[in-house]
């Protein structure tokens, strides 16, 4: 039996998909042009999460750096994590999805979550700022803050990423309600669909959540070299992050705005005039 869809996924449910069909104004853009032959070469993908297990087979040896945000001092700081550890498995799941679709991309892990898969908003913000400063091609955010107090901070970071040519791909929270930075316009916001194909994505022309990625009953890598079957917007986001990585690898000059347009033009249901 198919798992219940997470929050924000209603536009991508089977009975609503016909509403996603539209004529797009990009006659010469198709999937072959967008990602055909791309493997992620030259792209750096930052994963802000619970860490990434460096030696997990699903990561393919592509983790080039692992850091952790330390909140023990007067100010948050980013410290190297030479062990390349994952305290939950969640980040490794995201890394495995991205590597599976973009195997030549380099991965950087930024650990901001604890063993309970929860974290402080300022740790998240600090990790995101660091990823932007590193010039990542794509940042996968399979987490989002519901803190109204941090709305301004995340809005500034989303703008900073956009103007620094860093693409943010963020899962919407799995519970209803606003979350940041997933609902900011410059961010690729993602909820789950239940089509069991990692290369099926949808564009929703009636946001706030614009894109649907495979996120229901997904076979994912997990802590300790294992695998589990999981459902959530968290696992939809890295599918879109990987596809965005393929686009940026094949077309290095494209901006975050242009990547979103390409994703929209090549999503399931799009058709040229």
* Tens digits of residue pLDDT in 129-153: 999 999 999 999 999 898 999 999 9
What architecture (CATH level 2) is domain 36-271? 3-Layer(aba) Sandwich (3.40)
Q: pLDDT value at position 1?
A: 41
For residues 253-272, give the mean pLDDT: 89
202, 267 contact by CB (below 8 A): yes
Q: pLDDT value at position 190?
A: 97
Q: pLDDT value at position 22?
A: 73
Q: Which residues contact 16 (CB under 8 A, 6 or more apart)?
A: 10
Q: pLDDT value at position 174?
A: 87
Ordered by start, the domain boundaries in the chain are 36-271
Of 3-12, 81-90, 164-173, the poorest mean pLDDT is in 3-12
For residues 262-269, give the mean pLDDT: 91
Q: Which residues contact 50 (CB under 8 A, 6 or more apart)?
A: 86, 87, 88, 89, 90, 91, 92, 111, 113, 114, 117
Q: Which residues contact 170 (CB under 8 A, 6 or more apart)?
A: 141, 142, 144, 181, 182, 187, 188, 189, 190, 237
Q: What is the CA radius of gyration of the chain?
A: 17
Using a 10 angstrom Cβ sphere, with 0-12 exposed, 13-18 middle and 19 or more buried, the burial of residue 165 is middle
More confident residue, 73 or 200: 200
Count each helix (H run) and each strand (E run) in the chain, helices first: 6, 13
């Amino acid at each position: 039996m198919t798992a219940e869809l997470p929050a924000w996924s209603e536009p991508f449910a089977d009975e609503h998909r016909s509403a996603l069909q539209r004529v797009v104004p990009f006659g010469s853009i198709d999937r072959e042009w967008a990602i055909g032959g791309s493997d992620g070469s030259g792209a750096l993908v930052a994963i802000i999460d619970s860490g990434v297990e460096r030696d997990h087979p699903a990561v393919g040896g592509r983790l080039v750096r692992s850091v952790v945000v330390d909140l023990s001092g007067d100010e948050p700081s980013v410290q190297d994590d030479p062990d390349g550890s994952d305290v939950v498995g969640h980040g490794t799941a995201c890394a495995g999805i991205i590597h599976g679709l973009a195997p030549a991309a380099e991965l950087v892990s930024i650990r901001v979550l604890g063993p309970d898969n929860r974290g402080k908003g300022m740790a998240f913000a600090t990790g995101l700022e660091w990823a932007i400063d590193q010039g990542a091609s794509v940042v996968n955010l399979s987490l989002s803050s519901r803190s109204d107090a941090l709305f301004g901070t995340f809005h500034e970071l989303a703008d900073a990423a956009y103007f620094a040519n860093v693409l943010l791909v963020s899962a919407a929270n799995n519970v209803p309600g606003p979350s940041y930075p997933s609902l900011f316009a410059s961010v690729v916001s993602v909820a789950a669909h239940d089509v069991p194909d990692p290369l099926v994505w949808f564009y929703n022309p009636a946001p706030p959540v614009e894109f649907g990625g495979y996120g229901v009953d997904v076979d994912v890598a997990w802590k300790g070299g294992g695998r589990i079957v999981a459902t959530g917007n968290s696992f939809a986001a890295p599918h879109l992050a990987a596809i965005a990585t393929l686009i940026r690898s094949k077309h290095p000059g494209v901006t975050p705005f242009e990547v979103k347009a390409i994703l929209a033009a090549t999503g399931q249901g799009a058709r040229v005039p």
